[in-house]
Structure 1
């Protein structure tokens, strides 16, 4: 926030008495700032009364390096790379966010952490083709993939014929299978 006010003509002299530092010249005006963001205090001296009535240029604190959204994800920032900007990150549903969901740019040009990553949700790859059987999956071990199982002749499937990779609600990048690994057991006809 920039605040400015116009005081009596001797205000500049009074300020100098309180703050005896050299001012630097900018466009013919004398300007002095303490340079301690985020709340710099400036003294502006010029030749005529109310000379600072117009818009003042404000040099903000250090700007943070620009950020990019994680690959496959989204980013929304309140003030870009300016000090005190807050950036929020998210991923589409088939991905899990790995890292900080919110980063803040401090007054010294540093982000509060690293850009997070979007990692595709996958299920554990331990779902093997059963011995004496077969397996077909619609999308390997990725989220929402459906795997179907069957057995060779003379064997019967024990467990689910269709399993799906679903989202695990513990917020990690791994899903879980809807049922345990099925197996093929030899079929023994009853007499």
Structure 2
């Protein structure tokens, strides 16, 4: 019986340290070092309402907006994950074909791969710079604005995901769409 009680005390102490102390320390450190990221990288409107997060994709389907990558989880942050379908899956091929059709891709103007393929989490908030530029004509026609203005927005918003070590540039779809609305 003595060994059993000692085991319970060790288990309780371990839970207090690992669950309570460690979690509180990590939370406090995150709040001190990067409070915006620790609290979800939220984008808040002037009236205080939350528009979205810089870190979670949202589904835009109207022609006057940039469209994100497809999502296997319908952009639901609580259910992040891929489709777990094989690259040989007919369902996956059908979804990709539908996406290519929705974007109006043609053989002389192929769709950038990131616009046809979902990310591993289904929640990637970024698309490639090429993916953004691919959508300029559709957006300019829907908004009846000069495509050069949209191209300038992409130039401003694009950044190298890997810092100076990366040549590939990406853009955040939500931030780009908010910039479009501000035009």
Normalising by structure 1, we get a TM-score of: 0.24
Larger Rg: 1
More strand by share: 1
Looking at both structures, which has the greater relative contact order when contacts are Cα pairs under 8 Å and sequence separation is at least 6? Answer: 2
More helix by share: 2
